[in-house]
């Protein structure tokens, strides 16, 4: 029987499959089922900075550029009890820790440093084993520079690390001008893990109502390519653990992520599509793949296809672009 064990954020895990943040983790029975199905750890649904600030009555005319919009303010008010609300979130952590033995990672979705950091302390006190910091900031102001945005991320991380003692993972987006440099700076600032990558949900246009509407599309395995690319580049260049999220659906997806250099893989869309029992099927397939390819341990795969270990490292650079273009043979016209 192949050894599937891995390590993430200092925790020894029985396998590399972590359930990522989603509405599924709002339900205690779901979480029990996830552990029974074989999940190695769980990231809870996100608590939003706006919820905390509104409860603390400090959400007043901040730099969101929409404070005069009554519809927006009404929406913010409706967030008070979203995702169980702040008090409910802490109680949810306590209840989960009573019924499961796997690590429970709380999730904070934030854009600014500030008083919400105190809530990170409360998450720790409630029993969270770690915190995933989801800094979801979509810059639209042309006067805000890339440097300012990067510093905002780092300031947020420093603020949290200064206030809590449990491990912190940062969920990055793929839009920094230099992902490698940003990952290095996050690593130096104290991030215990980097999660690649956040999915920014873009609105769609309703052509009949002439309205801009929210739009959610579940991930698929094709989204892994960007994540594999950067996991393979970062492996060996940072001390923080690497987690891949977005596009992990099958055992082969997990194998690719580990080969790129990831410590764990995170799954949500596949569970929403196929059910929580999909965890058991994927882990069974993973074990079978390792046995068929004569690997005694998953750790033997880690980083084997990273930029540092492949024979031709240029495949991760500009050469890949040229090879892809030159490999395509268009069909002759009719």
Confidence class for position 3, pLDDT limits 50, 70, 90? very high
pLDDT of residue 184: 97
CA–CA separation, 325 and 126 (whole Å): 53
Spell out where the chain has E strands.
6-8, 11-13, 17-19, 41-48, 104-110, 130-135, 168-172, 193-196, 204-206, 211-213, 241-245, 264-267
Confidence class for position 232, pLDDT limits 50, 70, 90? very high
Confidence class for position 87, pLDDT limits 50, 70, 90? confident
Mean pLDDT, residues 199-214 taken together: 84
Length of the chain as a residue count = 334
Instruction: Return the SS3 of 7.
Output: strand
Q: DSSP class of residue 21?
A: S
C-alpha distance from residue 264 to each of 151, 218, 248 (Å): 27, 20, 11
pLDDT of residue 115: 58
For the chain, count helices (H), then strands (E). Answer: 12, 12
User: Which pLDDT tens digit goes with each residue over 256-310?
Assistant: 999 999 999 999 999 999 999 999 999 999 999 999 999 999 999 999 999 988 8
- What does the H/E/C string look like for 62-106? CCCCCCCCHHHHHHHHHHHHHHHHHHHHHHHHHHHHHHCCCCEEE
DSSP β-bridge partners for residue 204: 213
CATH code reported for the domain at 6-309? 3.20.20.70
233 upstream amide cis, omega within 30 of 0: no
Mean pLDDT, residues 9-20 taken together: 97
């Amino acid at each position: 029987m192949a050894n599937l064990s891995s390590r993430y954020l200092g925790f020894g895990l029985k396998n590399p499959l972590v359930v990522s943040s989603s509405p599924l983790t709002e339900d205690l029975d779901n979480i029990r089922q996830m552990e029974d199905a074989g999940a190695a750890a769980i990231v809870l649904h996100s608590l939003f900075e706006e919820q905390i600030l509104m409860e603390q009555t400090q959400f007043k005319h901040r730099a969101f550029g929409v404070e005069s919009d009554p519809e927006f303010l009404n929406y913010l008010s409706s967030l008070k009890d979203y995702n169980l609300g702040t008090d409910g979130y802490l109680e949810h952590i306590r209840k989960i820790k009573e019924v499961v033995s796997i690590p429970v990672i709380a999730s904070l979705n934030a854009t600014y440093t500030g008083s919400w950091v105190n809530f990170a302390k409360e998450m720790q006190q409630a029993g969270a084993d770690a915190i995933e910091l989801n800094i979801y900031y979509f810059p639209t102001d042309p006067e805000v520079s890339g440097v300012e945005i990067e510093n905002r991320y780092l300031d947020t991380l420093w603020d949290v690390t200064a206030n809590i003692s449990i491990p912190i993972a940062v969920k990055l987006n793929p839009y920094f001008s230099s992902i490698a440099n940003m990952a290095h700076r996050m690593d130096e600032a104290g991030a215990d893990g980097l999660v690649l990558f956040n999915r920014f949900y873009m609105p769609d246009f309703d052509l009949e109502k002439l309205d801009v509407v929210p739009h959610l599309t579940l991930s698929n395995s094709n989204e892994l390519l960007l994540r594999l690319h950067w996991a393979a580049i970062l492996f060996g260049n940072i001390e923080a653990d690497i987690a891949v999220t977005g596009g992990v659906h099958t055992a082969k997806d997990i194998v690719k992520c580990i080969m790129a250099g990831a410590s764990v893989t995170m799954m949500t869309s596949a569970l929403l599509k196929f059910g929580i029992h999909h965890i058991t099927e994927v882990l069974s397939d993973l074990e079978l793949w390792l046995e068929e390819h004569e690997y005694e341990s998953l750790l033997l795969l880690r980083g084997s296809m990273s930029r540092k270990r492949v024979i031709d490292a240029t495949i991760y650079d500009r050469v890949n672009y040229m090879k892809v273009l030159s490999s395509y043979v268009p069909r002759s016209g009719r």
